[in-house]
């Protein structure tokens, strides 16, 4: 027969709700209409873990016209770190700095992107 996977159980829905609430406590989700739908669907409370609990509230970094780094919208998926690292570019110009709520994507030594090993994916 095979394994039976149930994705709409109460436990699965509760887990999704908590993940959305945790994400909302640290990232500005106002520009993501799909997430607003999930908040409604799962009856999530975005301020459950405190209003803007871990928001960075920093200005977007614009080192050139190609890359705008707005860390208030970053969900720390690490896709950019993977692309910059051994997956594509092998420059390792950006990485994860810090741990937990202090984790963030950073350029080596917090230098501007123009002063790093970044080759702008070229």
The answer for residues whose C-beta is within 8 angstroms of residue 119's C-beta and 6 or more apart is 89, 91, 93
Same-domain status, 49 and 68: no
Same-domain status, 32 and 72: no
- The residue behind tokens 């208030």 is 72
> Does residue 121 lie in a domain region?
no
CATH assignment at residue 71: 3.30.70.20
Task: Tell me how many domains the chain contains.
Answer: 2
Same-domain status, 77 and 100: yes
The answer for residues whose C-beta is within 8 angstroms of residue 106's C-beta and 6 or more apart is 94, 95, 96, 97, 98
Q: Which domain covers residue 11, as residue numbers?
A: 1-54
Tell me the pTM: 0.63
Same-domain status, 93 and 111: yes
Q: What is the pLDDT of residues 12-65, one digit of tens each?
A: 999 999 999 988 887 777 778 898 899 999 999 988 887 654 555 678 888 777
């Amino acid at each position: 027969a095979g394994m039976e996977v149930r994705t709409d159980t109460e436990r699965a829905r509760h887990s999704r709700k908590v993940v959305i609430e945790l994400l909302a406590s640290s990232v500005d989700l106002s520009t993501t209409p799909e997430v607003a739908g999930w908040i409604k669907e799962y009856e999530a409370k975005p301020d459950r873990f405190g209003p803007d609990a871990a928001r960075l509230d920093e200005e977007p970094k614009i080192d050139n016209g190609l890359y705008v780094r707005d860390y208030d919208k970053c969900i720390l998926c690490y896709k950019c770190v993977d692309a910059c690292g051994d997956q594509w570019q092998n420059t390792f110009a950006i990485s994860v700095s810090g741990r937990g709520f202090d984790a963030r994507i950073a350029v080596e030594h917090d230098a501007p992107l123009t002063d790093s090993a970044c080759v702008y994916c070229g």
